[in-house]
Structure 1
Amino acid sequence: MDSPVTIFSFVGSSATGFALYQLVPLLSQLKKKYIQYQQINEFTPTSLLNYFNQTQQTTVEAFIAGELISDSPIISKVPLIISEKKIYYVYENGIKKLIKIIQHGASQLSVADYYNRIEIWKNSTLNYQFSMSHIWDRFLPKQLSFFQRFANFILKTLNQIKTRRLFLKGFYTGQLEREYGIIAREFYVLYGEVILDKKLNKMFLQNPKFILKSKKQLLQIIQQQIKYKRLTIAILVVIFTIWTYIFGCNVKNLIFKILKEREKARLDKLRGQKYLEIDNYECQICYERPRNIIIKPCKHLTLCHECIQRLKQQKCPICKQQIEDQIEIFFT
């Protein structure tokens, strides 16, 4: 496997095979999640309380629909349950570079309808990115020197002339603050395990996993992930097949080469034998190697393999007939 193509195809085949080995179980898990989430019921706090009373259960995994409320919401343009502020450097031509993310979350969260509420015990793995709303933007301009403005003008002009943008963005012209958030007292759907505490006569949503606009939104997200995984696996299968075919062809050629070299070595060994039990059987030209070529059609056995290759005239040295064919023989 000293051929660069063989080594490279082996590495490519191994890498794509390993990627497929990891992706196929992930696709299977996503399909199971999709079926699981389809079968899980959606409740409001009141309908869930009725479900607990009817079934005598105290825990259930469910989607809970209602208003998100807090006794101490985050004060912004509107009251927020979760705030995520992103700060960007802004360059010429609208290019932005994210430099900081500031997150805040309100305490004492609940999901409620008109009659009942469910207290929320938050965890660090809560995924709310699918339901964030854009709250406000604020641009803070930066005072640039004459040199900085001139440098930005030159880079902007070059970017307009060239089809490919330059790597250098120049000096940033200001900071953009952009806030996203989960808005208090708006309708959301949360997914997690709900516990009924009969002593306190309260329901608790323990470690919610998602804050969503709807259950359908989560199913659509999982469907998109399944499609992406399937497409990735299909591409990797094609790449894996190509690399494996190239590797297999190179290994096959390598095996044939080794076998050919071994056969050549065996024949060279037989041709190089100088000992014979019959006396006076040396080649009639070199007198060093044994005669091992029968000339046709005259059938004289007078030459060795090396000397017949060097004949200037293709004629038998004994009878001078034209050589039409030859047969190599071996003495053992």
Structure 2
Amino acid sequence: EEFYHKKGISFSEFLSSLGNNVTSENAGSDLSSCILFEGDYITAFGIVKYQMSDDSLSMTKPIAIVKGGLEALYNLFKQKRNEKAGFSYILLWGGVFFTIASIGCFIGARHFYNKVKERSAIQKDQVKELDDLNCANCKQEKRNMLFKPCNHLVYCKKCFESPAFNPGLKEKCLACENMIESSEKVYIP
């Protein structure tokens, strides 16, 4: 059980009430030092300041006042250490959880970013493919003349059948430069 020093009573009065006076001879030459007072019923531990004017000691910072002897004080410190150790474990596992959650969020965000980037690349490729389906000559109409035997789509019917089109190119495929035996009109949506 723990007892705390009441603010209305000075520490020297508290020690006097126990029947023990602490004087400057017991404190040494330091103006403030750490002192342990062990009584039969109460043990006090704290920072004591020596007052030269009235030749007395007063406790400026009581660290612990416990019921019982030195063993009770030791048990109190041990209990406080265990409480801090428990809190340290909570902080440790909280930090581990936060780190894992942060890594998970980072990986999820990176995955989402890659998906968006991949979709935009696919859309660009689809637009490029649509552009690639336009006629190699006029670049406006869709390619719809399939050359045999190589099965390449190069021109639209309008350009392939126009008299202004180079008649020498009608004999060779522009993609593979093989001889064209026949051509078919195909429909591309």
TM-score with structure 2 setting the length? 0.53
Output aligned runs, 1:1-332, within 5 Å. 49-52=24-27, 55-66=28-39, 187-213=41-67, 214-273=72-131, 278-279=137-138, 282-284=142-144, 299-302=150-153
Which segments of 5 or more consecutive residues in structure 1 lack a partner in the other structure? Answer: 1-44, 67-185, 286-290, 304-317, 321-332
CA distance in 2, matches of 1:215, 1:209: 11
- Residues 63 and 215 of structure 1 are in contact (CA less than 8 Å); yes or no, is this contact kept in structure 2? no
Q: How big is each residue's C-alpha offset from its partner over 1:200-256, in whole Å with a ceiling of 9 and x where there is no partner?
A: 232222242422244313321232123212320232133224312321231122011
Q: Is the 2:47–2:61 contact (alpha carbons within 8 Å) kept by the matching residues of 1? A: yes
TM-score, normalisation: structure 1: 0.33
CA offsets, 1:238-284, max 9 Å, x none?
A: 32243123212311220111111210221122123276552497332
SS of the equivalent of 2:89 reads helix
* Residues 63/319 of structure 1: CA separation in 2 closer, same or farther (3 Å cut): farther
User: What secondary structure, in the 3-state scheme, does the structure 2 residue paired with 1:272 have?
Assistant: helix
User: 2 CA distance for matches of 1:216 and 1:199?
Assistant: 34
CA contact under 8 A between 2:144 and 2:153: conserved in structure 1?
Answer: yes
Structure with more relative contact order (C-alpha pairs < 8 Å, separation 6 or more): 1
Match of 1:95 in 2: none
3-state SS of 1:249 partner: helix
Q: CA deviation at 1:47?
A: 7.7
Mapped to 2, the partners of 1:194 and 1:237 lie a distance apart of 39
* In structure 1, C-alpha distance between the alignment counterparts of 2:125 and 2:85, rounded to whole Å: 60
More strand by share: 1
For residues 97-120 of structure 1, what are the alpha-carbon distances to aligned partners after superposition, in whole Å with 9 as ceiling and x for unaligned?
A: xxxxxxxxxxxxxxxxxxxxxxxx
Q: Unpaired segments of 5 or more residues in structure 2? A: 1-19, 155-181, 185-189
Cα RMSD of the aligned pairs, angstroms, is: 3.8
Deviations 1:91-148 (A, max 9, x none): xxxxxxxxxxxxxxxxxxxxxxxxxxxxxxxxxxxxxxxxxxxxxxxxxxxxxxxxxx
String of CA shifts for 1:295-324, please: whole Å, max 9, x gaps. Answer: 9xx642128xxxxxxxxxxxxxx799xxxx
Cα separation, partners in 2 of 1:198 and 1:238, compared to 1, 3 Å: closer
> Which AA in structure 1 matches 2:37?
I
Distance change >3 Å, CA 221–CA 299, structure 1 → 2:
farther
Asked whether the equivalents of residues 49 and 59 of structure 2 are also in contact (C-alpha less than 8 Å), the reply is yes
CA change 1:299–1:229 in 2 (3 A) is farther
